[in-house]
Each structure stands twice: as C-alpha cells, then as structure tokens.
Amino acid sequence: MDVSTLTIKDIKKLLESGEITAESLAGFYLERIKAQNTDLNAFIEIADDVIAQAKAIDVKRAAGEDVGVLGGVPIGIKNNILVQGWEVTSSAQILEGHIGAYDATVIQRLKDAGAILVGRTNMDDAAMGSSTETSHYGPTKNPWDKTKVPGGSSGGSAAAVAAGLVPVALGSDTGGSVRQPASLCGLTGLKPTYGRVSRYGLIAMASSFDQIGPIAHTVEDAALVLSVIEGKDPKDGTSVELPNTTIAELVDTDIKGMKIGLPKEYFIDGIDPEIKKSVMEAVEEFKKAGAEIHEISLPHAEYALAAYYIIMPAEASSNLGRMDGLRFGYHSGGENLLETYSRTRGEGFGPEVQRRIMLGSYTLSAGYYDAYYRKALQVRTLIKQDFDEALKAVDVILTPTSPTVAWSLGEKMDDPLAMYLADIFTISANLATVPAMSIPCGFTKDLPIGLQLIGRPFGEYDLFKMGAYYQSVTDWHEKSPE
C-alpha cells in the first residue's frame, strides 16, 4: 500500500484498524527516504532507532495500552530542535558534533503522544535564509521541480512532507520560515501565536520572534500536531497559559458571517499576477460560504521588512555569541584567544550568518542603538497596533503567502535584498506576535501557490475554521509531485 499521500487522520485509521502496523509504516517511509532523499537532500540524518520506536508502539497497542494521539505516526524534526542523543547543528558548521543533552519540550510531548521521530530535516545555516541553500549540508530541492528551491529556512521539513517522505514535520518560524516553504511546496504550514508553543530546546535565532510549528498536508493535521505540542512550559518563561487549547476534532467548516480582511498594502504591484488571481479566486470561495469580505489597511506594513531586518539580526548576533568553538561544536585553533575566536567563527559561520551578525552588532553598538534598534522597536509597536485595530473589525486577515512561487536554485544567492523580499508578506505576523497559516490555493507554471490567513492572538481556531472550509471545497492540498 502506498501511504505517501495519506494524511495523519488516514494513517491513524489504518493503524487503529490493524490494516497496517507502526513497524510496516515506518519501514515504508524509510524505503521511500532511501530512494529519494539522496537527490532531494530533505533529511540530513535518519535516526537509527526508527524501527525500534515503531515496534514499541505496536507492542503497546497489542497489549491494549494507550499509544497516544500520534501513536505510530512518523514525523520529521527540523535540525534546530534538540533531541537527546541526536547531533543537532542548526545546519551550521560551527555546531558540528553538537549532541543534544536533553529533549526540547515539543520533542518530549511528541514522544508522549507516540510519534515516531524519523530524523533531522535540512534547513538554512542557523535558520538564516529563505531557500535552504545556505545549509552546511548543501541545498534542498523542491519536489515539484528539482531545479527550484523549497523555500526556507524550514525547507527540508517542507520538501520531506511534499515528497511523501513523512506525513508531517516540525519547522520553526522566525519571519515566515514555516509558512513560506509550505507555500512553495504546496502544503499547510502554521506559525502559532508567540508563546503558544514552548521554545525550550529550540536553538535560538531571534528570541522574540521564534516559534515552532507544524508543516502538514491538511489543516486538520496541523491542528492535531499543535494540540500535542502547545501549552505552558515552566522551562520557557515566554510560554503562556492558554485561554483555549486545540482540539482538532472540534474544528468545523461553518464560516457564515465570519469577516475576512484584505489589506490593500499586500495586493501591490510586483506580486505575480497569477498569485493574485488564485488568491482572489479563493476569496470568492469564502464569499460563497457566507463570509464577509472587507478591505482594510495596515498602514505601517511598508516598514515591516526594514524593522524586521534590524531587530532580528540584533537578537541573532546576541544569541550566536555563545557559539565560539570553546565549549561545543566546531573549533579552529589560533595562537591566542582572539585569533581562535576569529578563525572559528569566520570558518564556522556561512556568509549569510556573518552578514546578519555584523548587521546586528552594528545596530546595537554605541551611537547607532537609538538611531536604528530603538526606532525599529517603535515601528514594531506601530505594526502590532495596526493588527490589533484591524482584527477588531475582522476575524481573519487574508493575504498571499509569498509574492512569487519557487525560484531557481542559485537565482537569488548573490542578491540578499531579493532574498529578503521573499518574506515580505510573512514577517508582519512575527512582528505582531499573532498566529498565521499558509494553505495551498492553486498553481502557476506547475508550481504551488499559497494564501496566508492571519488571526487574533491565540485565535488559531478561526484560522483552522477558514482553512478547513477551504480544503473541504477544493483539492489543492491533495495534489502531490509526480
């Protein structure tokens, strides 16, 4: 049986009925990875105990024990989320040989839910990139067209799910790194509200932005994974007690009377006309179901990219200061401490990471802090206020996820600004700390298009309702690469 296109819901039914076992399911995916991953480079490493994990689930199920809501479901893990005993490097040379000393909170919760941890998925170097081309392990290819990028920085996770190597994978989203690759690979990708999911055990890039989220085929699958990994964690002071928890089975598709806002600042010149056409066709589907469509304004949206690329590098430069080659990871010797630091970090960090560290260090330095960093924080506050005001009038904001579909490998590597512009529609949700989700809504040039739904803080349920309705009347999410 080919299960490569099945959803978690379908897989759970087969496992619970006894039609397949967790061991046979794991074996299927391992064979598929063996056949395809050398070319795709979606996985960096496969865990050596995948079959053992699956056998343990089969034994528990046969004994009538509770195997958890994900009992036997394989999942890929982005290479910046700690798993005890695994090498976890954030796809950066400077963390080469770094072994996870403990499980991230999301990993422990996945284990408790019976998920099978398959292996490490590729990503941009230290999560810095929009194409998964800066990885120390080489670029990942898009399964829809292997001459194209899968997006980034969670491109390995997206490519793995799109290619049917796993039914679901975890990514992390700092400025769109779950949603943008989900869009470019024809998948559903969720960035939860900041604080909904614990960051404990996530290798930090920019601590006030980072959130872990699922990449899956369907909204229902994304909701199910969120229900497992979300919730207050005493090990993460930014995690919160949730006003409501996710129950995937309760997500309905009745959107009559819901208000959708279309921000005029997002439907701009420069966006691919085919993307705009597909997104507006999706809007018509929502109108048919009784949703109300309103034009809204997010007046400070034009400053989001500039503010993000000041605040994010500043936080990244501070976070990456601990990576010096002395306590863990890559080490290059020198005649003195300064030379050791310089050589280790110069060799261990790739060009994009070095660029952002230097930019962040500059904006935090004396004489420039007020002119750049403080001003960017003020702009971030204005952007958040824009979203707060808009979401008083509408339930959900709808935009394109990406201004383009997947581009060719190498096309933007020599033009950092062009690469940064790939995230222009996603970064605002991170600045405003609100939830956002990308779902597939069409194709152009045989490549997937994604639309983005943005909600109120902790309003993931509204996103799930809108997305689940759309997927109940369309089949874009059922398409898979040949």
- The residue annotated as part of the active site, out of 90, 91, 131, 153, is 153
Contact residues for 389 (Cβ-Cβ < 8 A; gap 6+): none
Q: Is the torsion defined by CA of 342, 346, 351, 357 positive or negative? A: negative
Annotation says 208 is catalytic: no
Cα gap 353→357, rounded to integer Å: 6
What does the block give as tokens for 2? 């080919």
How far, in whole angstroms, is CA 348 from its chain's centroid? 24
Residue 403, helix vs strand vs coil: coil
Annotation says 235 is catalytic: no
Task: Respond yes or no on whether the N-terminal peptide bond of residue 227 is cis (omega within 30° of 0).
Answer: no
Looking at residue 371, the DSSP 8-state letter turns out to be I
- The residue annotated as part of the active site, out of 78, 141, 148, 412, is 78
For the chain, what is the radius of gyration of the CA atoms?
21
Which long-range contacts does 369-376 make (Cβ < 8 Å, 24+ apart)? 372/310, 373/310, 373/311, 373/314, 375/310, 376/306, 376/307, 376/310, 376/311
- The residue annotated as part of the active site, out of 90, 177, 183, 438, is 177
What does the block give as tokens for 191? 């960035």
In the sheet with 447-455, reading across from the earlier edge strand, the strands are 43-46, 116-121, 74-78, 168-173, 211-216, 188-191, 436-444, 447-455, 396-400, 259-263, 292-296
Annotation says 55 is catalytic: no
Residue with tokens 């890039």: 205
What does the block give as tokens for 69? 């809501």
Evaluate whether 73 touches 87 at the Cβ level (below 8 Å): no
Q: Is the torsion defined by CA of 315, 317, 318, 323 positive or negative? A: positive
Q: What is the largest distance, in Å, between two alpha-carbon atoms of the chain?
A: 71
Q: Is the torsion defined by CA of 278, 169, 130, 205 positive or negative? A: positive
Give the closest residue to 378 by CA, choosing from 331, 310, 318, 456. 310
Residues involved in catalysis: 78, 153, 177
